[in-house]
Structure 1
Amino acid sequence: MSESTTVDLPVVVIGAGPAGLAAAAHLTERGFEPLVLETGRAAGAAVREWAHVRLFSTWGEVTDPAAEKLLAPTGWVKPDPAAYPSGGDWADHYLQPLADVLGDKVRYGATVTGVSRSGRDRIVDADREAQPFVVHIAYADGREERLMARAVIDASGTWTTPSPAGASGLPALGERTSADRITYRVPDLKDPAVRARYAGKRTAVIGSGASAFTALAYLADLAQTDEGTGTRATWILRRGINGSTFGGGEADQLPARGALGLAAQAAVDGGYADAVTGFRTDTFERTDDGRVILVGEDGRRLDAVDEVIVLTGFRPDLSFLDELRLGLDERLQAPVELAPLIDPNQHSCGTVYPHGVNELSHPEKGVYLVGMKSYGRAPTFLALTGYEQVRSIAAHLAGDHEAAERVELTLPETGVCGGAGLFDEPAAAEETGGGCCGAPATLTIGAAPASSGGC
């Protein structure tokens, strides 16, 4: 890209979540003018949708150093580094204050609908890299805008595109028409209306990661209350149960993550959830009274359930990047240099070494997918990884290649993660799971309620 034609243009960051706001902080520190475009009406809009779920990383592991420097002059005080925030805590006490400091560098209600090179569609080679990026935006009030950028950092996450229940990666037959009985998120059972939906009912939980663990623990807690009498869960796994099914337990260097798996195991051992193994969902059938019967690819028909919680992971929305030349792995939909390092059949959080601009670059120079989106369909993402990614990218854009390639992060190990065949379904990761390191959807969340042994 020609520096002379783009030097006065902003670096556009898509998404005002943890990775996006950290990117803006690092860019600001490096003297760039970032512009953060957020679809929601507040910072951390996706995080706020799982505000009730507690992270399994501590405050000390979910704040970015460059962001802390920006916040310090405002009188912001970092919460207890050893405490575990909920999603709501993270959004209210860190993400929103950071966005407020950035001020007009963050625009809300701004949905990116397309990114390309100015005057160049995907197939045009001539003088391509000399052209700035053109970003199309649709605002919540109906306005549209087209603006130019020197680089684009996509930190939009995967929260809005959950994976379906169908074992083929496509929706099961009848899944769409059963939408009134399905949620693709960990339900907030502290909400009276949501609680009433599951109390005294039988619920199928499909998934094998941190999000599924959380849902099982929540339902088990509900079953032990007077109003929840009769609450039961049917836990559906595509594989069998073995020593690693419930994660690292006490061997996990993230104690809350280990406790979450133990809480799920307690739900099964306590009789609050029945495990159905080797079941690959093919069809949702409705009974005369509106309940759901799940049918497997092998023809097995499970007992009817009242509700279904599908926690089979998330996937990136690449539709608005279609005019860019991205180099993505054909399986994970992650950058080709990164994919072998995060393959959930081989790696866990602790065996994925920190990475940066070299692994995140694409044939289209100047565009980067970061945060949970960079992992595509892989579930093993931690917030610290995203902060390291954007630090490296900002250094690279500033021409500080030594800093861009320097590793400044050590990730915690888990006691059992890793090994071929361990990861069946990615769960959410926030919160985002399926493996041992995600949670209900996009970063590092997922601890069970305190009464179930979580934080």
Structure 2
Amino acid sequence: MGELPVVVVGAGPTGLAAAAHLTERGLTPLVLEAGDGPGWTVSQWHHVRLFSPWSELIDPAAERLLKSSGWTAPDVGAYPTGSEWVSSYLQPLATLLTGQIRYGARVTGVARHGRDRLVDVGRETAPLTVYTATAGGTRRITAQAIIDASGTWTTPNPLGGDGLPALGEPEARDRITYRIPDLANASVRERFTGRRVAVAGSGHSALTALVALADLARDHPGTEILWLLRRGAVGNVFGGGGEDQLPARGALGLRAKAAAVDGHVRTVTGFRTANVDRDPDGRLVLNSFDGHRLEPVDGVVVLTGFRPDLSWLSEVRLDLDPVLQAPRALAPLIDPNVHSCGTVYPHGAAELVQPEPRVYLVGMKSYGRAPTFLALTGYEQVRSVVAAIAGDDDAARRVELTLPETGVCGGTGVFDEPVGSDSSGCCGPAGPVQISLTGSVAG
């Protein structure tokens, strides 16, 4: 078993950090990446600037490996874009791991060698088999352990307010995007300039989109933005502001909260989309579950979070929280009804262990549907998990990380009590929230 590789699914920041830790401990990593290069999903949001500085975006084991090759670290106090994170860190790291990464290899299944999930005998000692779809066909790989760092980027949550696509949503994909728009791209910018656009979501991605679109609206009269919130009031959606220990994250919320006189952004609270219709001109008309109907919009930016793809793990035994789809022991620490990311203490193998021996979900995938994941969290997870795989139980149990607090205490209020008569919900008075912001900072 010890001669087999440890398969890491995903060549993003967490997956490559896992490979660096495995290499440092003398284990053989085999990283399987569905995309055509390292940090493929990060490259999809290349234009977005992170709210974590370089000092919190570089894994310690990866840094040691990089520095041994003469790599020069970026300015630790600077805030990179997604593109810079890839070019200055992930690409050089992947180059050092050449031969241990397979691109264009999409994992389609994981099982215990020669056993389906019903078989008890031999699960502790038998290796794992990993099936991949490649340009050359389906391949099967034998592994001693699996570290699933595949993330959640490819499975964004829908616009529909009940967790399923709204009626008409799939047919309206020509006017719906599930990514932060890159307004530096002329063709993308043209799609939003002078248009009425709805932004659905309340997290950092939604705030980032509002910042960028508010700038566009300020420079191009006629551009109008509707901000759709599922909660009944704005509440603490803007975060901890000056109390946030990540200053750029706090600044993002403060900027999004700042009222201006122009009135380019209007909030619609308590709106949970049920149907997407079209008007005679082809524009989209959104309807809520309580019967509220919005004026037609030219496009919708859906930034309502992500969820894990568990389909290819159906033949291994997982113990996941029924609400978050996160490892059961981790779920109470990250439940958005209770916690923000600043109240989640560091965790590792003990919280991530599964009934299936030597199978671990890490990184964004480990958070299931919970938001506010930090790169630092993923790096600590893989340090502990790799230590456990290597048999170093003392190192696996140690906590070697302090997370920056958000300045937000308590839950995010993912669902509110019924909107009262004095509320600013969609069916009551809805005053505009105006945004006057510069720059684009996001997580």
Q: Who is 1:35 aligned against?
A: 30
Q: Who is 2:296 aligned against?
A: 304
1:16 to 3, 11, 28: 11
1:349 to 326, 341, 353: 341
Asked if 1:59 corresponds to 2:54, the answer is: yes
Asked if 1:220 corresponds to 2:210, the answer is: no
Alpha-carbon separation, structure 1, partners of 2:141 and 2:321: 29
2:369 to 333, 353, 377: 377
Asked if 1:391 corresponds to 2:383, the answer is: yes
- Kindly report which structure 2 residues correspond to 1:172-183, keeping only aligned pairs within 5 A, or say none: 172-183=166-177
SS of residue matched to 2:45? coil
> What are the ranges of 5 or more consecutive residues in structure 2 without an aligned counterpart?
417-434
Please say if residues 48 and 440 of structure 2, whose CA atoms lie closer than 8 Å, have aligned partners that are also in contact. Answer: no
1:207 to 201, 208, 211: 201
Alpha-carbon separation, structure 2, partners of 1:70 and 1:302: 54
Q: Who is 1:321 aligned against?
A: 313
Alpha-carbon separation, structure 2, partners of 1:69 and 1:414: 29
Alpha-carbon separation, structure 2, partners of 1:13 and 1:449: 43
Aligned-pair CA distance for 1:421: 4.8
Q: Who is 1:189 aligned against?
A: 183
Match for 2:156: what amino acid? P
Aligned-pair CA distance for 1:450: 8.0
Aligned Cα root-mean-square deviation (Å): 1.7
Change (3 A) 1:127 1:422: same
> Any idea what the Cα deviations from partners look like across 1:211-234, whole Å, max 9, x if unmatched?
110111111111122xx3211100
1:108 to 103, 109, 119: 103
Asked if 1:73 corresponds to 2:68, the answer is: yes
- Kindly report which structure 2 residues correspond to 1:136-285, keeping only aligned pairs within 5 A, or say none: 136-139=131-134, 141-225=135-219, 228-266=220-258, 270-285=262-277
Higher alpha-carbon deviation: 402-411 or 250-259 = 250-259
Match for 1:191: what amino acid? N
Task: Give the alignment's TM-score, normalised by structure 1.
Answer: 0.91
SS of residue matched to 2:130? strand
Alpha-carbon separation, structure 2, partners of 1:56 and 1:11: 32
Please say if residues 388 and 409 of structure 1, whose CA atoms lie closer than 8 Å, have aligned partners that are also in contact. Answer: yes
Please say if residues 20 and 155 of structure 1, whose CA atoms lie closer than 8 Å, have aligned partners that are also in contact. Answer: yes
Please say if residues 356 and 405 of structure 1, whose CA atoms lie closer than 8 Å, have aligned partners that are also in contact. Answer: yes
Q: Who is 1:434 aligned against?
A: none
Aligned-pair CA distance for 1:45: 0.2
SS of residue matched to 1:32? coil
Change (3 A) 1:129 1:267: farther
Aligned-pair CA distance for 1:66: 0.2
Alpha-carbon separation, structure 2, partners of 1:97 and 1:450: 34
Please say if residues 54 and 85 of structure 1, whose CA atoms lie closer than 8 Å, have aligned partners that are also in contact. Answer: yes
Match for 1:92: what amino acid? S
> Any idea what the Cα deviations from partners look like across 1:240-266, whole Å, max 9, x if unmatched?
334512111122111111111122223
Asked if 1:133 corresponds to 2:120, the answer is: no
Change (3 A) 1:306 1:77: same
Please say if residues 230 and 272 of structure 2, whose CA atoms lie closer than 8 Å, have aligned partners that are also in contact. Answer: yes
Higher alpha-carbon deviation: 339-348 or 259-268 = 259-268
SS of residue matched to 1:135? strand
Aligned-pair CA distance for 1:103: 0.9
Task: Give the alignment's TM-score, normalised by structure 2.
Answer: 0.93
Asked if 1:291 corresponds to 2:283, the answer is: yes
Please say if residues 348 and 380 of structure 1, whose CA atoms lie closer than 8 Å, have aligned partners that are also in contact. Answer: yes
Please say if residues 248 and 258 of structure 1, whose CA atoms lie closer than 8 Å, have aligned partners that are also in contact. Answer: yes
Higher alpha-carbon deviation: 56-65 or 343-352 = 343-352
Identical counterparts, % of pairs: 62
Please say if residues 263 and 452 of structure 1, whose CA atoms lie closer than 8 Å, have aligned partners that are also in contact. Answer: no
SS of residue matched to 1:302? coil
Aligned-pair CA distance for 1:288: 1.0
Please say if residues 342 and 348 of structure 1, whose CA atoms lie closer than 8 Å, have aligned partners that are also in contact. Answer: yes
Change (3 A) 1:268 1:291: farther
SS of residue matched to 2:106? strand
Aligned-pair CA distance for 1:424: 5.3
Change (3 A) 1:269 1:386: farther
Match for 2:173: what amino acid? A
Alpha-carbon separation, structure 2, partners of 1:166 and 1:454: 27
SS of residue matched to 1:368? strand
Aligned-pair CA distance for 1:130: 1.6
Aligned-pair CA distance for 1:270: 4.2
Number of residue pairs aligned between Structure 1 and Structure 2: 424
1:422 to 405, 408, 413: 413
Change (3 A) 1:269 1:340: farther
> What are the ranges of 5 or more consecutive residues in structure 1 without an aligned counterpart?
1-5, 426-447
